[in-house]
Structure 1
C-alpha cells in the first residue's frame, strides 16, 4: 500500500531506506516520487531528493502475473550492456529483486533530460527542419543499435535468433486466439498471408521490440539522448524494428486514438526516405521490408483487439478505451494493403 501522497506502486520511504543500505550517500533527505505517464506496460517513476538529485525507477505493473513479460533483470541487463556503445541509454544504477521493498522487482537508473515526442502537434511546434532532424537521428540510432555485436557486449545468450520470425508469428497468432470475441474481417487472411510469405532473416541483432519516437528522449540539439522501454528486447531479426518504425511513420492520426503517430508533422521524412537511410547506413537488405511492416500492423491489431476484449469484460478503465475496437480494422487493412502493394 502506498503512503499518502505517494504514487501507487512506489513507497518513497521504503525506497529511501533500501537505497541508504545498498548505495549509502546516493540520496540526501526524503525522496519525492511521481509516476511518469506514457508507458504502455511497466511503470516508470521519477524520484528526487532535497539536494537536487534525480533518478528513474522501473517496476512491473500493479497486480502483474506473468513475470517473464515484465522482467526487470532483463531490462537492467540490456541497458547495462549497451552502455559504452553508440546506443544512448540511461546508466543503470541498481537492480532489486527483493519484492519486500516495493512489492515487485525494480531497478533504478539515471534520469536523462529530454522530450518524448508523442504527436505531430508536438513536432509541429519545433518546425519542419528540426522535425526532419529528429526523425533522421531516430533512424540513425536504430542503425547504431543493430550494429552492436551481441557477443562483444555480453548479450550472446540474450535470445534465440534461429526461427525468430516463425516464433513471433506463432506468438501473436496465439494472442489473437486468446482475444477473440467478435468477427474481425481480414485478420485471419493477414495472418495466413504473413505465414505464407515468411522472409529469410539476415544477420541477427539486438532488437528493441517497440522502437518508435515516443520511446526515446530527444535533447535540445534534436539528437536522441536515451532509448527507453526495453521490456520487449531480445536477439532476433532487426528488420522487425524497422518495420515497426515504418508502420508508425505511415499512420495518419485518428482523433481520440491512444496510438501515437507523428507522420502528419511538417518536415517528417517519408517512410521511403527512412528505409533508404537505414539501408544505406546499415548495409542491410531491406527488399522484404513490406512483410515486416505488414507484420507490425498485424501485431498492433492484435494488441488493440486484446485491449478491446478486456474493455468489453470491464477489465480496462480510462479514457479512449471505448474506441479501441473501432481502430482494429484499420490496422488489419493497413497490413493487407502493405502486402498487396509492397
Structure 2
C-alpha cells in the first residue's frame, strides 16, 4: 500500500467524503493501490490500517455512453446482498464528480482469489480446478434464479426487446470506438440482427460473467461476484454464452484469459450442460447467443484498444489488446455459419 494517491483516486478527497457520509468509519490515514489486470473500470484497494475497502470508478478519459455506470453497479450489489448470490457489502455511493472526477462507490474488501491465468489453476491441481469451474456455473444459475421483483429491481432494466437493444447498443459502442478497419465486424452485426431469437423469461443479467470476475476462497467457494457495470434485466442466455466465448476465446489470445487451458477445467460442452441442468433452461439456441457474445467481446476490447491509443489507460498489457479483436470477430462469424 502507498499513502500517495494513485491515478484517478485522490485520497484526501475520498477521506473527506467518507468522513462526511460515514462518520467514524475511517480511523487512520488512508493508503491505496490500484488493482492491476482490470481492463475497464478502475479498482483500488484502500486501507486505514484497521479496515480495508475497495473503490470502483470509471476509466480515465474516453468513457463510452451508458458504460462504466457506478450507480448501476452499486444498485445491483446492494439489492443482491440478501440473496444466495455472494456480493461485497456496499459502503458508499458518490455521484458528485467534484470528489474524484467521476462517480464512484466503496464496498467492503472480500477475501478471495480472481483466477485469470492458467498457472494460477495449475498450482491447485485438476480436481480443484474442476470444482472451481463448477462453482462458477452454479453461482450463475443462482443469479438467474433470483426474483428481481423481490429484491427491489423491478425497474432495473427493460427486458422487452432486450436482444435487439443490446445489439443496437454494442453497435453504437463500436461506432464510438472506431479508429481502424476491423474485417468482418459489420457483417457479424448484420447477421446477428437478421436472426434474433425469442428470449426466455427475463432475469438479472450480470453482463460480463467469467471466472476472473469472481473471488474464490481456499475451499473453492465463490465468495463474491464482482464487476456489475453491465448488469441489467434481460436474457439469461447472454451470460452463459459470454462465459463460453471467454472460454473459447482463450485459444485466440491470453489477453482475454487463459484459465480454460488448465488441466481439469471442463470443456465448453460440459459447462453448458451443467448450466442447463442446474438452471433448467433451454440452451438449444446457443449458436446465436455465442455469435453475439463474440461480437460484444470484440467491441469491448476495441474500446479498450481505442482508449490505449489515446493514452487513457492505466496499467500494463494494453498494447496487446487490439490484436485479439479480429480473431474474435472471425470466430463470431464462424459460429453463425456453423449454427
TM-score, length basis structure 1:
0.91
* Secondary structure class of the residue paired with 2:56: strand
Gaps of 5+ in 1: none
Measured in 2, the distance between the counterparts of 1:315 and 1:247 equals: 27
Q: Show the counterpart of 2:57.
A: 59
* Secondary structure class of the residue paired with 1:251: helix
Measured in 2, the distance between the counterparts of 1:31 and 1:120 equals: 34
Per-residue deviation at 1:4?
A: 7.3
Q: Show the counterpart of 1:287.
A: 284
Q: Show the counterpart of 2:46.
A: 47
Moved more, 207-216 or 320-329: 320-329
Per-residue deviation at 1:298?
A: 1.1
Contact 1:248 1:262 survives alignment (8 Å): no
| 2:126 is the alignment partner of 1:128 | yes
Call closer, same or farther: CA 1:252–1:106 in 2, change over 3 Å: closer
Measured in 2, the distance between the counterparts of 1:274 and 1:114 equals: 22
Per-residue deviation at 1:119?
A: 1.2
Call closer, same or farther: CA 1:112–1:322 in 2, change over 3 Å: closer
| 2:300 is the alignment partner of 1:303 | yes
Measured in 1, the distance between the counterparts of 2:32 and 2:180 equals: 42
Q: Deviations over 1:81-110 (max 9, x none)?
A: 001101000001122223333333222111
Q: Show the counterpart of 1:18.
A: 17
TM-score, length basis structure 2:
0.92
Call closer, same or farther: CA 1:232–1:90 in 2, change over 3 Å: same
Measured in 2, the distance between the counterparts of 1:154 and 1:274 equals: 30
Measured in 2, the distance between the counterparts of 1:73 and 1:318 equals: 24
Contact 1:253 1:260 survives alignment (8 Å): no
Call closer, same or farther: CA 1:99–1:187 in 2, change over 3 Å: closer
Contact 1:248 1:261 survives alignment (8 Å): no
Q: Deviations over 1:220-270 (max 9, x none)?
A: 111110000111111111111110011112233456x42223111000011
Measured in 1, the distance between the counterparts of 2:179 and 2:113 equals: 38
- Report the number of matched residues: 338
Which residue, out of 245, 252, 255, partners 1:247? 245
Alignment of 1:167-246 (within 5 A): 167-246=165-244
Which residue, out of 90, 93, 110, partners 2:91? 93
* Secondary structure class of the residue paired with 2:150: helix
- Computed over aligned residues only, the root mean square deviation of the Cα atoms, in angstroms, reads 2.3
Measured in 1, the distance between the counterparts of 2:189 and 2:76 equals: 31
Q: Deviations over 1:24-69 (max 9, x none)?
A: 222212111111122222221111113x211111122234655742
Call closer, same or farther: CA 1:14–1:173 in 2, change over 3 Å: closer
Per-residue deviation at 1:184?
A: 3.4
* Secondary structure class of the residue paired with 2:260: coil
Measured in 2, the distance between the counterparts of 1:140 and 1:100 equals: 41
Contact 1:20 1:26 survives alignment (8 Å): yes
Per-residue deviation at 1:322?
A: 4.2
Measured in 2, the distance between the counterparts of 1:118 and 1:294 equals: 23
Measured in 2, the distance between the counterparts of 1:74 and 1:37 equals: 23
Per-residue deviation at 1:178?
A: 3.8
Q: Show the counterpart of 1:330.
A: 327
Call closer, same or farther: CA 1:39–1:266 in 2, change over 3 Å: same
Q: Show the counterpart of 2:28.
A: 29
